[in-house]
Amino acid sequence: MTLKNYPHKPLSKWLRSKNISVETFAELLGVTPVHINQILNLKRGMSKELIKKIYLITNIPLQDILYPNDKDFKNKAA
């Protein structure tokens, strides 16, 4: 299965590294694949509950979940 590169780089990279489909990830989170696609394409925000679930499943740092492509934020936080 080939997974697409999405604008939300941290989630996209994690899905590819684990070879997990958008559909499977959505099922794990209890949301629809459309919802996950919108998040991956930076077209939809996330609730606190969903952010927590994503963090617990992926172990991606919260700042990368919340600010996936914000290099300025990451440089300031370092």
* Structural domains of the chain in order of their starting residue, each with its CATH number: 9-68 (1.10.260.40)
Query: Residue 9 carries which side chain, given as an amino acid letter?
Result: K
Mean pLDDT of 35-64: 94
Q: How far apart are CA 72 and CA 9, in angstroms?
A: 15
Given a cut of 90, whether residue 78 has pLDDT beyond it is no
Confidence of residue 38 (pLDDT cuts 50, 70, 90): very high
The model's pLDDT over 6-34, given as tens digits with 9 standing for 90+, comes to 888 999 999 999 999 999 999 999 999 99
Given a cut of 80, whether residue 74 has pLDDT beyond it is no
Q: How far apart are CA 54 and CA 62, in angstroms?
A: 9
